[in-house]
Structure 1
């Protein structure tokens, strides 16, 4: 009888375990999927994420696109009422007009239309379609929607280098799949080529240069070519190519292609029925066929940044047949494996959705730039092959050095190592010999400021991630600090003097740290001295940082004082930027007047934040410069205030909704902050191996460690008696021993073990000081 009961209990436990949700089940790709400046209350807009299908760090992001042009980096905004098509590449969470959105596929019926048409007048023509908002569904690796213009259901899923679309058509004698080969989120591709290979296959490429806008409307210097190899489940019996008349010399930046004149040229494109090969400045391809009611027609494609042969190889390796559901299942499994590196327990379903979606958003970039055989495009515009690392791209440096890359050092150290190798090789191949601060598809875009690559590389090395050319990395770090740094002058003058000077002082410290690791004492001494240059822009009469002119005099003090946005600062004010001395917090505190004064000022900084934590003049979580500030309380001997405010930010600035991110996602940074803070850890100073301990959102957080970089298998944080009210740490133990510090070192984390925190409703001022 006992044996029967035991077996029954076992079966019940197995059933319950199988019924439990997997990490990918919690992902809601619509979180942050809006570019609306109106709802954000600022020109930066909201999260700017995309809802389409992707795989962890994959080359393909197969997603709906609702808009071309404007500052709509993801190509999608939830409040838009029409869809232009489904593109194979997207950016996540960026401003500066964005890029990608290439290889735009759209199903249709009836007469061919060669232009998308306008969002506000879809009834006046164009291939864009109104869609049934209620039908729109998205999950990790899958997206579907009902297009109502022609009553077609569209479904998308992805593999790392390829994607497959499934369209369910109505009964119609003139059904179609058409591809806009010129389309690009922030402008247009400037040259395209397409060829019909056989009765099921096309191939070609799309060249995107700064002349066609794109990243920074051309100022980002993006210059890449997407090669494709695409196949259709239905034979290519009636095909054609359209080509718009684009005269030589006609400007083709974002504002040009948005104009009525340019759009009219596309709408009046020449259509070449039966043509099977063409090169041109604005091409599209279509295949037409009859469909019965509910007939499914599929299209799959591999892409490559190297060659058509690479695109073909990618497709053949990943999507061998027409089993859409199997590809979807494989994508879901990839996400469960990736998201399973962090398992949380406790917290309600909403919090788990916010957490796992945030973790999902941290694994879009840095994406693979290499084909399945390791071949990738180099900075010298030649093909290279390596099996030593995966070439990666989209390094949003100024954003991601703060939380995103430190998070990956714990859960994906191989990705960090890949990114370091990619930047070192790029500096080599371009012969620039310095690191780009915001790398995009091998472009030295020059976006934002500082030398964030040095931060990431020093942080990686300090944490034992060292499988790259370390001496060369130090050389390029020194070159970067010399090219972009405070130099002998001891500060950087100009309109962004404070942001530049403080950011450079920090990365000059990181350069010194890296030099010290390698035994270069001369460089270590030189850059450690320069790291103190932050002091040179501190005005004792104002008791705060202040921008200096070239001649050393101060810029005039504004009426708004340190609350004036853009006064000496990038996208911030002095109050926000002035806290950025992460490498010398004691020195900063002393400059500012001591512990008590700084604590009072920090309290004011947080207490004057609006309840919804949207863009504001105090703690502005919507933008990166302040992301380390809540953890400064730990350094000031008041860790309970770090606990209070990180819990408040997690609750007030992150929601399970389209407006659930208070600012741009910025290629994983906004979400990485949440993942770390909600887990109970976050760095103040990447390059230092210290993580500040704070109040976890969940009862249990388990990090799965990489055996190539960690001696332990897992590191677990347990918060006993945790609840929204019990947010303060009372006492702690590490591996069963009392633990009184408000921080933990990376080596203790990677050794594995358990950090247990006992939580309560009131601060315990005796712990963690």
Structure 2
């Protein structure tokens, strides 16, 4: 229940955002008891969570909430002390910049398409970035809008200044006023850029191999253009727009959002936008560190998905076409397997209007794809069908039951039903249902292979494997969600069928050990079995990116039944304590 007068300590809010699908918060407006010592955005620390040697960390991303344009300083990894040029647009929260920008006071003898920079005094805010390139003695300051950005470079003297542009796989072209670029980022998707320096260069060249030559365009792998300036003063400013439609739209986006070269004004606007977004939740805690953790976590919730509508149009990688958005922005780059538990339910409470547009986008995607199935991992380049199960159905149900209705629930239901009953349940696959799926419908679980047994089913990924326990448990939850939607729509036959199938997790429960245990196609538990180590890298042969100790609790839709299976409340608590005491090995 959302209230305006209930105080919540920061650590409670943190646990709620990170672990639960419900949030009880105190809203800023009308909540006079809360006293903040600084602006909300000043509590954000983009560096938090950047270190990880397993899977992928968070990045110090500069962007506006749910905006098309995102950038972050690229480094080789979390131990690197060099910048890989300066970014212009990152097309995925885990990707590299589609275009790189390098700035120089002189050209080295061996010029590379992108410069590696030693740097110092780096400062990152959600809305702005600055860094001092200590070897070149160049100060870099950056701010951005939704689809455009602005760099200011302060050089050590008034001598020559160089801007070097790189496209990893594409084309760059100088037209006399600005530099345009295009890069193919996969699956027929292209990102476009149009950059305008404050003054015209005195020379325009391209890097061909190791040689510089006068030219106004460059194409191919690591295409590179260099603009040389000799203007008065030490400052050089450059603004640019980006687009997924074409160069003309990139120009239009820039013209609409940035009219001058005032970086500070742009940063101030971005700062206000972030304060408004983060200020939807005001927390009270005497520990300032907790506030930094909380507001940094909240800032992360705005990194995905992104609104890619541009003046009422958007490019969809789901069918390779440009569409009119008909007044409803199109959102993508939403990795639902990661975000369905807390990210979507949080947005339902904080911004139900945006959540409805995101769910409307899911429906559009299903209509645009070859098969009308709800997406799993919708990205800029289309649906990658990553991970296991399809928890998009949970986001539909959660939002609908909390009153979000500005999307076609009937179309959404059919897309979700198709994704669970017509598409294969094999992880990381977009193929139609096959032998594995027929077995699931008949026996109520995904069969496991014995150690060393060869895979023969074509829809199964060679690396990701069947993940039979993870898929059985995850799909049981999806079927429960599907049943609830069927009930809301009055489709009684579907409701009864899917409710019955939502208990399929029981088919893999080992009464002796109280773990969910993989079975072969004859109904026998795989033996011998180690609940910590069996399953290979990421336990993928049986689970998925985690082992039996974690998947022991993956019955989200029927906790009372899970408690009963484990022998009651006391046993349940005992097993939960054991998990935290169990060493990783």
The answer (yes or no) to whether the contact 1:164–1:301 under 8 Å persists in 2 is: yes
Question: Which residue, out of 258, 270, 278, partners 1:319?
Answer: 258
Task: Please report how far the alpha carbon of residue 269 of structure 1 lies from its aligned counterpart in structure 2 after TM superposition.
Answer: 4.5
Residue matched to 1:34: 51
Residue matched to 1:137: 123
Task: Please report how far the alpha carbon of residue 412 of structure 1 lies from its aligned counterpart in structure 2 after TM superposition.
Answer: 1.8
CA distance in 2, matches of 1:19, 1:320: 34
Question: Which residue, out of 105, 108, 111, partners 1:109?
Answer: 105
3-state SS of 1:230 partner: strand
Do structure 1's residue 282 and structure 2's residue 236 form an aligned pair?
Answer: no
Question: Which residue, out of 138, 144, 153, partners 1:158?
Answer: 144
CA distance in 1, matches of 2:525, 2:504: 16
Residue matched to 1:663: none
CA distance in 2, matches of 1:430, 1:576: 34
Q: Scaled by the length of structure 1, what TM-score is found?
A: 0.64
Distance 1:292 1:131, change over 3 A: farther
Distance 1:276 1:403, change over 3 A: same
3-state SS of 1:552 partner: coil
Task: Please report how far the alpha carbon of residue 91 of structure 1 lies from its aligned counterpart in structure 2 after TM superposition.
Answer: 6.8
Question: Which residue, out of 506, 510, 515, partners 1:544?
Answer: 515
CA distance in 2, matches of 1:559, 1:533: 23
3-state SS of 2:172 partner: strand
Aligned residues: 516
3-state SS of 1:415 partner: helix
Do structure 1's residue 489 and structure 2's residue 485 form an aligned pair?
Answer: no
3-state SS of 1:421 partner: helix
The answer (yes or no) to whether the contact 1:52–1:143 under 8 Å persists in 2 is: no
Task: Please report how far the alpha carbon of residue 238 of structure 1 lies from its aligned counterpart in structure 2 after TM superposition.
Answer: 0.8
Do structure 1's residue 593 and structure 2's residue 535 form an aligned pair?
Answer: no
CA distance in 1, matches of 2:111, 2:369: 39
Do structure 1's residue 438 and structure 2's residue 377 form an aligned pair?
Answer: yes
Q: In the TM superposition, what whole-angstrom CA distance separates every residue of 1:369-396 from its partner, at most 9, and x where no partner exists? A: 2114343335211100114321111111
Residue matched to 2:55: 44
Map 1:260-339; keep pairs closer than 5 Å: 268-273=209-214, 275-290=215-230, 295-339=234-278
Task: Please report how far the alpha carbon of residue 144 of structure 1 lies from its aligned counterpart in structure 2 after TM superposition.
Answer: 0.8
Map 1:550-565; keep pairs closer than 5 Å: 550-559=521-530
3-state SS of 2:164 partner: strand
Distance 1:278 1:563, change over 3 A: closer
CA distance in 1, matches of 2:381, 2:393: 17
Distance 1:386 1:574, change over 3 A: same
Residue matched to 1:508: 479
Do structure 1's residue 531 and structure 2's residue 502 form an aligned pair?
Answer: yes
The answer (yes or no) to whether the contact 1:547–1:555 under 8 Å persists in 2 is: yes
Q: In the TM superposition, what whole-angstrom CA distance separates every residue of 1:241-293 from its partner, at most 9, and x where no partner exists? A: 234xxxxxxxxxxxxxxxxxxxxxxxx355332x1134333311211123667
CA distance in 2, matches of 1:560, 1:451: 25
Map 1:45-194; keep pairs closer than 5 Å: 48-67=57-76, 77=78, 79-90=79-90, 98-111=94-107, 114-115=111-112, 127-132=115-120, 135-171=121-157, 173-182=159-168, 189=169, 192-194=170-172
Residue matched to 1:228: 193
Residue matched to 2:207: 242
Higher relative contact order (CA 8 A, sep 6+): 1
Distance 1:476 1:18, change over 3 A: closer
CA distance in 2, matches of 1:149, 1:432: 54
Distance 1:352 1:455, change over 3 A: same
Task: Please report how far the alpha carbon of residue 177 of structure 1 lies from its aligned counterpart in structure 2 after TM superposition.
Answer: 0.9
Do structure 1's residue 198 and structure 2's residue 176 form an aligned pair?
Answer: yes
The answer (yes or no) to whether the contact 2:317–2:380 under 8 Å persists in 1 is: no
3-state SS of 1:516 partner: helix
Q: In the TM superposition, what whole-angstrom CA distance separates every residue of 1:654-709 from its partner, at most 9, and x where no partner exists? A: xxxxxxxxxxxxxxxxxxxxxxxxxxxxxxxxxxxxxxxxxxxxxxxxxxxxxxxx
Q: In the TM superposition, what whole-angstrom CA distance separates every residue of 1:357-377 from its partner, at most 9, and x where no partner exists? A: 111111111111211434333
Residue matched to 2:185: 208
Task: Please report how far the alpha carbon of residue 502 of structure 1 lies from its aligned counterpart in structure 2 after TM superposition.
Answer: 0.3
In structure 2, list runs of 5 or more residues that go unmatched: 1-33, 426-439, 449-465
The answer (yes or no) to whether the contact 1:146–1:152 under 8 Å persists in 2 is: yes
The answer (yes or no) to whether the contact 1:178–1:287 under 8 Å persists in 2 is: yes
CA distance in 2, matches of 1:285, 1:548: 59
Residue matched to 1:383: 322
* Alignment RMSD: 2.3
In structure 1, list runs of 5 or more residues that go unmatched: 1-16, 38-42, 117-125, 183-188, 210-221, 244-267, 610-615, 618-769
3-state SS of 2:90 partner: coil
Distance 1:402 1:416, change over 3 A: same
The answer (yes or no) to whether the contact 2:312–2:327 under 8 Å persists in 1 is: no
3-state SS of 1:342 partner: coil
Map 1:638-657; keep pairs closer than 5 Å: none
Task: Please report how far the alpha carbon of residue 316 of structure 1 lies from its aligned counterpart in structure 2 after TM superposition.
Answer: 0.8
3-state SS of 2:55 partner: coil
Question: Which residue, out of 342, 346, 358, partners 1:419?
Answer: 358
Task: Please report how far the alpha carbon of residue 465 of structure 1 lies from its aligned counterpart in structure 2 after TM superposition.
Answer: 1.1
Residue matched to 1:405: 344
CA distance in 2, matches of 1:332, 1:18: 20
Distance 1:439 1:384, change over 3 A: same
Q: In the TM superposition, what whole-angstrom CA distance separates every residue of 1:40-92 from its partner, at most 9, and x where no partner exists? A: xxx336xx22224211111111321123xxxx6xxxx3x32111122133377
Distance 1:114 1:518, change over 3 A: farther
CA distance in 2, matches of 1:531, 1:270: 65
The answer (yes or no) to whether the contact 2:531–2:549 under 8 Å persists in 1 is: no
Task: Please report how far the alpha carbon of residue 105 of structure 1 lies from its aligned counterpart in structure 2 after TM superposition.
Answer: 1.0
Q: In the TM superposition, what whole-angstrom CA distance separates every residue of 1:4-24 from its partner, at most 9, and x where no partner exists? A: xxxxxxxxxxxxx99952111
CA distance in 2, matches of 1:19, 1:550: 59
3-state SS of 1:556 partner: coil
3-state SS of 1:65 partner: coil
The answer (yes or no) to whether the contact 1:169–1:291 under 8 Å persists in 2 is: no
Do structure 1's residue 22 and structure 2's residue 39 form an aligned pair?
Answer: yes
Distance 1:372 1:347, change over 3 A: farther
The answer (yes or no) to whether the contact 2:46–2:59 under 8 Å persists in 1 is: yes
